[in-house]
Amino acid sequence: MSPARSYSAQLVGLEAEIINIEVDISNGLHSFSVIGLGDKSVEESKDRVSAAIKNTGYISPKQKNQKVVVSLAPADMRKEGPAFDLSIAIGYLLASGEISYADIPPNPKMNEETDGYNPKDNIFFGELSLEGNIRKISGLLPMLFCAERSGFKSAFIPKENVDEASLAKGIDIYTVSTLREVVDHITGTKTLEKLRICLDCDSQQEVYKGDALSGIDMGLVRGNEIAKRGLEIAAAGAHNTLLYGLPGTGKTMLAQSFPSILPALEYEQAIEVTSIHSAARVLSSKLITRPPFRAPHHTASHISIVGGGAIPRPGEITLAHRGVLFLDEFPEFERQTIEALRQPLEERVITISRAKGSITFPAQTILLASMNSCPCGKPRKKGCLCSETMINNYWRKLSGPIRDRIDIWVHIDAVEYEKLAPGRGGRDNRWQSGEMARRVQIAREVQLKRFRSIGRSIYFNSEMNASDIEKVICIDEAARLALETSVRKLELSGRAFHRIIKVARTIADLDGVETITKKQIYEALQFRKR
């Protein structure tokens, strides 16, 4: 009997690769082996598959005197996880002759001669329980996208992955809860109903229906209007920002309020972010429509922040893609970790190289950091004994290149009692999250329209390169002279010079003007660390 084939997929970084599963059965003493560089969970699949087949009503492979070889190809790619269980079970049942495909019309998207695929083949994902139930798996979304690109017509997935699977629109999805349901469908005994895709790619209103602002309302933060203005600029142009000041002045609360002024993700961005979280195995059961907000503790390891490991996996900076990476007590992070942020903050990607391979992860994130003014955090009037040397050493934990990559520096002042006391200092509607989010959204739409007009697929002013600045920046002569004088006086680097222009461009977009004037230049300089 010739080997039977079935298909599944394996994650490699944030992408997926199709895995060709071949099952060969020959006469001889009983043996059951899985080959193809699988980890322990793949090796154990033979026991799960055998029990699931027996409890589905067929003869278990372990009850027969036969040699079963399951090959996972390509053989030089490391396989991990239990997602191959369902595909291995189907492959075995086909190879043993216990089931056969019904008369299914060939898939016009797949050519057996050129692609090496059987037109009747589907792709299968799912972990099997000993009873034959199909359990949820991680990383399904990028696998479905890979299957769609590879021309598969239909995919069988665990019913618990239904929300995630509804985003794949170019492939028929069948949600199943038992091995029996899959067997009955492919043999034609019973027909499963296709998953109805409720999301329309042409209508983002459906995608974001019922979406609400997240985070603490900015209006609940009393005082610090300059800080709120700085965060509004950061949100509008996706600029890296650092909040510094005495403890208890509201730095953390301002940071926690920051997500509330960020607009919802565009549809393409939502798919991208959801796919990343799915591949990283941290996805909740729904589409991510809000920018992610990641806030690791300062004791987090270097690898957990930037990514890595023997098999490279994404870190917090990648999980914050299209969102915010908040690093509270910034200088307390490991020096190695802080310096490792240089590349992703500049290039918006991070490349992890290990002996077993090199993978580039996306890292388009807003760095939002906070720190105290000195090591002890006390004001001079309340017992601060830090010497100038101690304070300088504290600030030196942030190297010059890292400081250069922070666009907006915001000093957080202590708030007067009159504003903090209940019933005092009424709320200013200008600084409510809803109103700030509206202004941010308008500024972002202006940026997007500008970049599309020059054929660029970027979203924010912070993403501009030198060529983009030459094309889209319009600055009057007085502003140009003020900028030149300030750069010479402050001895700013070329990187800082370009970042000031980007921040000024964002301020102009918030102000609703096309030409940058001295007003925008001076405000951008106000938020630059001296």
pLDDT digits (tens, 9 = 90+) for 56-105: 999 999 999 999 999 999 999 999 999 999 999 999 999 999 998 876 55
* Run of H or E including 361: strand 357-362
Within 10 A of 96 (CB to CB), how many other CB atoms are there? 19
Same domain for 260 and 407, yes or no, is: yes
Q: Measuring CA to CA, which residue among 67, 91, 112 is closest to residue 8?
A: 91
H-state helical runs in 150-306: 162-165, 179-186, 204-207, 225-237, 251-257, 267-279, 302-306
| Overall pTM > 0.85 | yes
- 158 in Cβ contact with 134 (< 8 Å): yes
pLDDT band at 427 (very low <50, low <70, confident <90, very high): low
Does 343 reside within a domain? yes
Same domain for 278 and 340, yes or no, is: yes
Same domain for 291 and 147, yes or no, is: no
DSSP 427: P
Same domain for 14 and 73, yes or no, is: yes
DSSP 178: B
Same domain for 296 and 413, yes or no, is: yes
In this predicted structure, what is the pLDDT of residue 422?
60
In this predicted structure, what is the pLDDT of residue 358?
83
- 182 in Cβ contact with 124 (< 8 Å): yes
Name the residue type at position 1: M
State how far Cα 497 lies from the chain centre. Answer: 30
Same domain for 145 and 17, yes or no, is: yes
In this predicted structure, what is the pLDDT of residue 242?
97
Q: How far is CA 84 from CA 23, 119, 127, 145, in A?
A: 13, 20, 7, 17
Average pLDDT over every residue of 272-281:
91
CATH code of 370's domain: 3.40.50.300
Rounded Cα–Cα distance for residues 503 and 486 (Å):
15
Rounded Cα–Cα distance for residues 453 and 457 (Å):
10
In this predicted structure, what is the pLDDT of residue 250?
86
Q: How far is CA 349 from CA 306, 319, 342, 409, 514, in A?
A: 10, 12, 10, 23, 30
Same domain for 222 and 176, yes or no, is: no
Quick check: 198 pLDDT over 90? no
Q: Measure the CA dihedral 500/502/508/513, to 10°.
A: 130
Token pair of 83 as six digits:
């997602």
Domain count, the chain: 2
The domain of 297 spans 218-427
Rounded Cα–Cα distance for residues 358 and 307 (Å):
12
Rounded Cα–Cα distance for residues 483 and 16 (Å):
48
Rounded Cα–Cα distance for residues 97 and 123 (Å):
19
Q: Which of 427, 443, 476 is the last residue of a domain?
A: 427
Does 504 reside within a domain? no
Q: Which of 402, 427, 452 is the last residue of a domain?
A: 427
Within 10 A of 453 (CB to CB), how many other CB atoms are there? 10
Same domain for 180 and 222, yes or no, is: no
Cα Rg of the chain, angstroms = 28
Which residues, 6+ apart, have CB-to-CB distance to 168 below 8 Å?
Answer: 141, 144, 145, 147, 148, 155
- 464 in Cβ contact with 499 (< 8 Å): no
Rounded Cα–Cα distance for residues 467 and 218 (Å):
36
In this predicted structure, what is the pLDDT of residue 463?
94
Does 315 reside within a domain? yes
Q: Which of 403, 427, 451 is the last residue of a domain?
A: 427
Average pLDDT over every residue of 322-337:
95
Does 467 reside within a domain? no
Name the residue type at position 479: A
Name the residue type at position 144: L
CATH code of 44's domain: 3.30.230.10
Same domain for 173 and 280, yes or no, is: no
In this predicted structure, what is the pLDDT of residue 256?
93
Token pair of 91 as six digits:
């492959």
Same domain for 270 and 175, yes or no, is: no
Same domain for 169 and 234, yes or no, is: no
Does 385 reside within a domain? yes
Within 10 A of 276 (CB to CB), how many other CB atoms are there? 24
Does 42 reside within a domain? yes
Does 352 reside within a domain? yes
Token pair of 141 as six digits:
């979304």
DSSP 289: -
Rounded Cα–Cα distance for residues 281 and 342 (Å):
26
Does 470 reside within a domain? no
Rounded Cα–Cα distance for residues 410 and 133 (Å):
55
Span 468-521, pLDDT tens digits = 998 889 999 999 999 999 988 988 888 899 999 999 999 999 999 999 999 999
pLDDT band at 167 (very low <50, low <70, confident <90, very high): confident
Rounded Cα–Cα distance for residues 157 and 149 (Å):
17
Same domain for 291 and 334, yes or no, is: yes
